[in-house]
Amino acid sequence: MGINKSGGDLADSTPAMSKLLGSEADSQRTLYPYVTGTSVVGIKYKDGILLAADMGGSYGSTLRYKTVERLKPVGRHSVIGASGEISDFQEIMRYLDELILYDNMWDDGNSLGPKEVHNYLTRVMYNRRNKFNPLWNSLVLGGIKNGQKYLGTVSMIGVHYEDNHLATGFGNHLARPILRDEWNENLTYEEGVKLLEKCMRVLLYRDRSAVNKLQIAKITEEGITISKPYALKTFWDFNAFKNPTAEGEEKKVSGGRRIVTGFSPVSSAHVFWKSRRSSAATNTKNTNEALQKPSMQDNKDKKEPANSFSFSILSEKRKALFESLEPVNNANGKRPSADSLLPPPDFESATYPKGWLIGKKRKLVNVDVVESMRRIAVQEMNRKDREIDGLNEQLEEDARCLEHLQLQLLDERSKRADVERQNAMLQEQITMLMEMVQENEPVDEDEQGPDGN
């Protein structure tokens, strides 16, 4: 069980850092499984449940322990099998022992069945997953209570389901196809054991972590029985086991050539050409030397294809390809036309390798490359067109929004003008009322007289 410990001096350094870490106590997390067990296989048969698991415990890729029991009874009705970290499985068994003890303390004549235990394990695994401290196991729980057979599984992150046959680890890939083909609900005990042994034998052949020492648990209405460890009969005399590299060796064939793993080299016409910026004399000389070497080698071969062409004749026709193509002005001071750069009339394009053509500037052009470039260009143009269409639609939508906003602005302006007119009218009324009040004040003073009467 990989442990990551943090805290201590780091947590005590500052209160803020202590709050950030969550606790001053050391925190422990499962980072990597150290000692692990491999597959567990379980099936339903006519009278109950059968579970099978080997007894190997791998320390990384080293088969360290060979007596690890990974099938354990849970109460009176269930058996659990575990793949993954052995120490985490021991922790799970401690949880289950406490659960069964608490259930027995009630002494009510009832006991937990396999479905209740499976639901409990699902909650435990999901809870530990949410705390980022998972129990690194895949569990299979089978049992029978009141005539109801139950077989379920739960992963290290709480994924759970029920089925008629289950497997964990490598068995989920190698044993489940066998179970789907051969399982049926009317299997007898002997047939079920034989089917489980077949699955475990396949896992022994294919899984490096498996060992030839297994246990089979039987759960019926009468009780739980876990067999003693025993080994399977295996057969290792296959030719592929004895000499695994025999089929991969190279085999010689006629003509001095070799075939490697079913593939033979394909002879193709050699094309030698360099940059057109080099001088004509240098290019012609190097090309002739390069073309003469394969010509000499091909003359040594006794069996030469009938449709092969002469490199010497071809090299003469290819000389024009490596001439300097620097722009040359004619008598009028103008550059020559494109037609003057085409190959001579007596040039035979059929002598060139299939799939190659002569371009307007006397360059070898691969038809497939040109076609792929054309397709890429068309796809790019279509993509640009789609982008332009999308931008046009966005512009139209923006124009409609702008028009709507302009209408709203005109409406707001008209409302504002109405409010301003109403304010002006109210101001005029207030002014008139103030004038009327001022005119009435002198009249009242005259009516009172000098004595105030």
Tokens for 365, please give them: 């052009």
Cα–Cα distance measured from residue 225 to residue 50, given in angstroms and rounded to the nearest whole number: 10
8 A C-beta contact, residue 51 and residue 217: yes
Cβ-based neighbour number of residue 369 at 10 Å? 11
Separation CA 163–CA 186 (nearest Å): 15
Indicate if 30 belongs to the active site: yes
Reported as type and span, the H/E element at residue 434 is helix 367-448
Dihedral of alpha carbons 162, 163, 168, 172, sign: negative
Enter the tokens of residue 61: 């890729």
- Please say whether the beta carbons of 42 and 49 come within 8 A: yes
14, 30, 36, 220: the active-site residue:
30
| Structure tokens given for 370 | 């040109």
Instruction: Output DSSP code: residue 340.
Output: G
224 phi and psi, to 5 degrees? -115, 135
Q: In 75-178, which ranges are E strands?
A: 78-85, 137-145, 148-154, 160-162, 165-167
Cβ proximity of 153 and 145 under 8 Å: no
Both structure tokens of 69:
């029991």
Place of tokens 């809870």: 127
Cα 70 to Cα 53: distance, rounded to the nearest angstrom = 7
**Residues 320, 440: Cα–Cα separation, whole Å:** 120
State the catalytic residues: 30
